[in-house]
């Protein structure tokens, strides 16, 4: 079975990126990156943190996040299925005042974990690659004018570069500019970047016929 650790490690090696580079870009400590690649989840923080690490690492490597998480979930579920279930009758039940104290403490710990999990989720969502939608031009368009309008939308705090030229982004994240074309096949590359140097790239190929 292909594991999530193998997917991450193979992608990193294929891109010729070392763990030190990954740590600097993702802010994930190297010991956690090593544990992820070796599928040693017991050496990682609780599940919410681990999921955040995997999403951030996958996004940095340009891997599809949902598909990578699907491998992780399947792997964790299969590992859980190997653990024999414990019968309720085998679990000692606390009694007296300590039982109510334990229940209260567990509830407080759960709320704390939920709060920090939300913070981590929010951080990785904010620090992830910016969204990018290109309205025009459409894929494989055939045009007859020397200029074409490039329009789309990204995060309001992102920057847009089209064919190595910076383009302004409006308060709502929309952008609009015109670029010149040459006869024949043209490639338009739109890159959205955020302050964490995370990027989303969309390429459009179109042909100018006169």
For 73-129, how does the pLDDT look when each residue is reduced to its tens digit (9 = 90+)? Answer: 888 887 666 544 545 555 555 555 555 556 677 778 888 888 887 666 656 555 678
Answer whether residue 3 shows pLDDT above 60: yes
Q: What does the alpha-carbon distance between residue 197 and residue 52 come to, in Å, rounded to a whole number?
A: 18
Residue 169: predicted pLDDT: 95
Q: What does the alpha-carbon distance between residue 70 and residue 18 come to, in Å, rounded to a whole number?
A: 25
In a domain, 139, yes or no: yes
| Alpha-carbon distances, residue 79 vs 4, 5, 33, 69, 193 (angstroms) | 13, 14, 20, 15, 38
Higher-confidence residue of 141 and 77: namely 141
Helix (H) or strand (E) holding 126: helix 97-127
Same domain, 153 and 114: no
HSE of 86 in the Cβ direction (CA atoms, 13 Å)?
5
Contacts of 202 (CB under 8 A, 6+ apart): 132, 134, 152, 189, 190
In a domain, 200, yes or no: yes
Same domain, 165 and 188: yes
Same domain, 33 and 74: yes
Domain that holds residue 185: 132-208
In a domain, 17, yes or no: yes
Same domain, 200 and 186: yes
Q: What does the alpha-carbon distance between residue 3 and residue 7 come to, in Å, rounded to a whole number?
A: 6
Same domain, 55 and 26: yes
Structure-token match 């338009």, residue found: 188
Same domain, 74 and 122: yes
Total number of domains in the chain: 2
Percent of residues, the chain, with pLDDT higher than 70: 83
Instruction: Beginning with the edge strand found earlier in the chain, give each strand of the sheet holding 174-180 in spatial order.
Output: 132-136, 147-154, 174-180
Same domain, 10 and 70: yes
- List pLDDT tens digits, range 4-37: 889 999 999 998 999 999 999 999 999 999 999 9
In a domain, 76, yes or no: yes
Same domain, 123 and 189: no
In a domain, 93, yes or no: no
Same domain, 197 and 109: no
Same domain, 201 and 136: yes
Same domain, 59 and 136: no
Looking at every residue in the chain, the average pLDDT score rounds to: 85
In a domain, 92, yes or no: no
Structure-token match 């939300």, residue found: 118
């Amino acid at each position: 079975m292909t594991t999530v650790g193998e997917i991450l490690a193979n992608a990193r090696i294929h891109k010729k990126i070392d763990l030190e580079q990954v740590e600097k870009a993702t802010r994930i400590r190297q010991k956690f990156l090593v544990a992820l690649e070796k599928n040693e989840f017991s050496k990682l923080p609780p599940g919410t943190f681990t999921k955040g690490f995997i999403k951030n690492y996958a996004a940095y490597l340009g891997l599809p996040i949902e598909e990578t998480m699907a491998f992780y979930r399947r792997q964790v579920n299969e590992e859980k299925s190997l653990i024999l279930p414990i019968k309720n009758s085998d679990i000692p039940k606390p009694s007296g005042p300590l039982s109510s104290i334990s229940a209260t403490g567990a509830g407080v710990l759960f709320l704390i974990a939920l709060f920090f999990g939300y913070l981590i989720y929010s951080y990785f969502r904010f620090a992830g690659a910016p969204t990018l939608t290109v309205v025009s031009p459409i894929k494989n368009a055939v045009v007859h004018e020397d200029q074409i309008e490039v329009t789309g939308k990204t995060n309001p705090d992102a920057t847009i570069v089209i064919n190595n030229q910076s383009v302004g982004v409006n308060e709502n994240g929309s952008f609009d500019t015109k670029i010149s074309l040459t006869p024949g096949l043209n490639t338009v590359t739109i890159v959205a970047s955020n302050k964490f140097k995370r990027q989303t790239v969309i390429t459009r190929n179109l042909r100018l016929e006169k």
